[in-house]
Amino acid sequence: MAAAAPIPPADWAVLGACLALAAATFLFIFYIRPDASDLAPHRSALDQLLERRDAIYDNLRDLRFEYRAGKYSEGDYEAMKNAMETEAALVLAEIDQVTDQVTRRPRGPKTSSQGGT
């Protein structure tokens, strides 16, 4: 039987680097958990307001259907409809504010060349 040749120091370095990479990969896969905020889509304020507006419109449509089906009295229907319309108006006003902030650009002062003097 022949004796095994000793491993050169350069090969030990490569072997150590491979083991370190394998350990890092193992830790990353099994022990590091992403935050919930990393998984959730990032929605802007405008996106949230548009979703809220759509939900209110859907609720108004459902309320109208249920009223016509006879589930609500005239007074209850009017009270709920007015509350939803008020909420929709507030959401629409907020949407206008957000879109005005995004689209409004500051204007510089007028120059004397514009007036012709």
pLDDT in tens, 19-67: 999 999 998 888 877 776 666 677 788 899 999 999 999 999 999 999 9
Q: How far apart are CA 69 and CA 63, in angstroms?
A: 10
Does a structural domain hold residue 29? no
Q: Between 60 and 114, where is the model more confident?
A: 60
Query: Which of 55, 96, 61, 63 minimizes the C-alpha distance to 80?
Result: 63
Query: To the nearest whole number, what is the mean pLDDT of the chain?
Result: 84
**Closest Cα to residue 94, out of 58, 40, 44?**
44
Residue 116 lies in a domain: no
pLDDT-above-70 percentage for the chain: 80
Q: Indicate whether 57 belongs to any domain.
A: yes
Gap between the Cα atoms of 20 and 26, Å rounded: 10
Residue 76 belongs to domain spanning? 45-103
Query: Which range is most confident: 9-13, 24-28, 86-90, 108-112?
Result: 86-90
